[in-house]
Amino acid sequence: MHGAAELQAAREQLVMYSARLVDDGLAVGAAGNMSVRLGESVVITPSGIGYHELVPADICVLTLDGDEVEAQEMPSSELPMHLAVYAATNAGAVVHTHSAEVIALSAVCDELPAIHYAITGLGGPVRVASYTRFGSAGLAEAAVKALEDRRAAILQNHGAICYGRTLPEAYDRALLLEWLARVYRLARSYGEPRILSAAELAEVAAEARRRRYGERRR
């Protein structure tokens, strides 16, 4: 369950991060969308409203099954994909982008390989889900499959989807994913890049865990 104050905070946070989506170059116009889970509700951006015009009252509230609770506008067309991610993961927030680097990569590659160790923050090399029409149940299914053991996936000829415990965490992952795709493209422009091995990635993940535990003990 959640209170009115918590819901209002989620609406305001979605409006703020929607504006950032455009400013950070992760989407243009009204493309892309994001949501937050509050208990048994999903709070999601509406369809077709330019991000800089968006106000908290435009944000839609639905149940985890997609039934409208409070929606003055049409919910995002990618609602099925958001609901599928909440059903399949422990996500507290989902961010869907139409960012240039990942879309360019998706048209050529089957995955974003481990060009930098920061990719462990996304769970490892990021899969590219085969193209399926926007808003379709097939896209929701393909996204969830590509997200297995990952916190990010690339959608072929479309964009990306990332999740986190909170909206800031999901959003930072979307930024990280776009940066990794850019680094990979730059490396490819020099020649055949060296890619981190599974053992090297496991070592990074173990060290990151160890250091976090150390901070908590202090």
Residue numbers at the binding site for Zn ion (CB under 5 A): 159
Select 99 or 120, whichever has its Cβ closest to Zn ion: 99
For residue 134 the two structure tokens come to: 């926007």
Select 112 or 143, whichever has its Cβ closest to Zn ion: 143
Catalytic annotation on 141?
no
The catalytic residue among 40, 78, 148, 207 is 78
Select 19 or 28, whichever has its Cβ closest to Zn ion: 28
Smallest separation (angstroms) from Zn ion to the CB of 76: 9
Smallest separation (angstroms) from Zn ion to the CB of 9: 26
Select 46 or 159, whichever has its Cβ closest to Zn ion: 159
Between the alpha carbon of residue 54 and those of residues 38, 45, 57, 68, 101, the distances in Å are 20, 9, 8, 19, 26
Q: Which residue is nearest to Zn ion (CB)?
A: 159
In degrees rounded to 5, what are phi and psi of residue 144? -65, -40
For residue 60 the two structure tokens come to: 């839609």
Q: How far apart are CA 158 and CA 133, in angstroms?
A: 9
Smallest separation (angstroms) from Zn ion to the CB of 134: 5
Active centre residues (catalytic): 78
